[in-house]
Amino acid sequence: MSAAEQVTAWVRDRFGWNNVVTALSVHRVPRRGFIFYLGGITLFLLLIQIASGILLVLYYRPDADTAYASVERIVGELPYGNLIRSFHVWASDLFVVCLLAHLFTIVVRRTFRPPHELTWLSGVVALMLGIGMAFTGAILPWNEAAYTNARVGSQLARYVPLLGTGLQRFMRGGDEVTSATLGHAYGFHVAALPAAITVLVALHLFFLSRKPATVTVLAEPEPEAEPETTDGEVDAEAIAKTAEANAKVEVARAALLRDTIPLYPDFFVRLALPITGVLVLIMTLAVFADRPLGAAADPALASVGTRPPWYLLPVHELVRLAPKELLGIDGARFLVGAASLLGLFAAALPFIDRRGSKITAYVAWSLLLVLIILATLALN
């Protein structure tokens, strides 16, 4: 055996590679359908965020007086600093898009239903954490856009019923957006949220492997039954029944083999294709569609913007359009409260819609339309 083969064999043995390969090969996924790759793409984007984020945090200074200057230094002075920052910013938007798309496809395909409750719940929590990471990350540059995001985004939290005021103070680290807000955002973005999201994603994958949603394990045909004999006579009927059962299994097995592919290596190789495409997309955006840093945050300026990050635009528009009062409650709080209840309802979907009714899919499409309309109104 050559040295390379020896090393390969050693690694395979220590990592139990053959067992892993066997286990992965037994699991099969449908052969066609881009939506099955969304989860993998989202995970890849998270890894990009972690890698680029680690590089950025080496030079970032989390203080209101120095944060902007440190980002300016990263962008202007460090080799490839601007590129890595652009990567991180674009990948963050794509990450949120893929998270939402992944969740949407799960709802529309109704693969949230039992026995996949825990997979669904861990995914929903991971989604909230992912949006939290995007929100806190947008504050860190402490430029004008960051200050606007922090101010307007945390203002929306005020409308959550019961928890609103406390939630706003928690997000801001006080009553107003100050350097404490930046400190909070930094702590969450760099430590708390990445740890939590890592655990949630690990759980999500674990539950997925325990109760695969679209993955089917290749069934083995039933062993041929021993023919029953009565006083030495062969029971032809029993034999025929067993043969019929085995034939059905064989047909199902053939269909499975025809319509599905093993997780390893087929699915992973195919997954690598859109991942490569996404990587090229982010590279292109990072190089040719710059996200300028803009001016440093100046709380004294009245000209600071009024729009939150794009994924909060529907909520922002909801608050803007809310009437003064609805059923005796402040209109904005009523609507945000209703939206929050809808969110809780969505989180509890596997327990409510146990059979995965088509109505859930229709409702999901309708909600998507409403969100797009609200976001479009907010942009005008």
Partner 1 sequence: MPSARAVPGDPVGATSASAAGASSAAPQTSATGRALPSPIDATNTCAACHSTLTDAKLRAPAKEFSTSVHRDDRIGCVGCHGGDARDPTAGAHSKTMGFRPHPTSAEVPGICGGCHSDAGFMRRLNGRLGVGQAALYGLSLHGRLNAAGDPMAPNCATCHGKHEILPPASPKAPVNRANVAKLCSGCHADAKLMSKYDIATDQFSKWEKSVHGVAFAKGNPNAPTCTGCHGAHASAPPDASSVAHACGRCHQDEMGFFEQSVHSQGFRKRGIAQCVACHSNHDVAPASPQLVGTTSEAACMKCHSNDEKPRKVADDIATLLRGARDRAAEARAAVARAHDLGLHVPGAAFSLQQVTTAELKVRGVVHTLDPARVEAGVSEINSAVDATLKQVADAEKVRSLERRDYFIALALASLLFVTLALKALELERRRRQVKP
**Residue number with CB closer to partner 1 (104 or 264):** 264
Q: Give the span between the Cα atoms of 374 and 380, in whole angstroms.
A: 10
**Residue number with CB closer to partner 1 (140 or 152):** 140
**Residue number with CB closer to partner 1 (282 or 349):** 282
Tell me the closest approach of the beta carbon of residue 281 to partner 1, in angstroms: 10
**Residue number with CB closer to partner 1 (28 or 184):** 28
Tell me the closest approach of the beta carbon of residue 91 to partner 1, in angstroms: 15
Tell me the closest approach of the beta carbon of residue 76 to partner 1, in angstroms: 3
Tell me the closest approach of the beta carbon of residue 273 to partner 1, in angstroms: 5
Overall size of the chain counted in residues: 380
Please report, as ranges, the residues that interact with partner 1 according to CB under 8 A: 72-73, 75-77, 79-80, 82-83, 250, 253-254, 257, 261, 265-266, 269-270, 272-273, 276-277, 279-280, 283-284, 287, 290, 292-293
**Residue number with CB closer to partner 1 (205 or 261):** 261
Q: Are the C-beta atoms of residues 263 and 215 closer than 8 Å to each other? A: yes
Q: Which DSSP state fits 223?
A: P
Per-residue burial over 2-17, b if 16 or more Cβ lie within 10 Å, else e, is: eeeeeeeeeeeeeeee
Q: Are the C-beta atoms of residues 173 and 166 closer than 8 Å to each other? A: no
Q: Are the C-beta atoms of residues 75 and 82 closer than 8 Å to each other? A: yes
The total of other beta-carbon atoms located within 10 Å of residue 243's CB is 12
Tell me the closest approach of the beta carbon of residue 289 to partner 1, in angstroms: 8
**Residue number with CB closer to partner 1 (19 or 284):** 284
Q: Are the C-beta atoms of residues 107 and 364 closer than 8 Å to each other? A: yes
The total of other beta-carbon atoms located within 10 Å of residue 295's CB is 12
Tell me the closest approach of the beta carbon of residue 11 to partner 1, in angstroms: 21
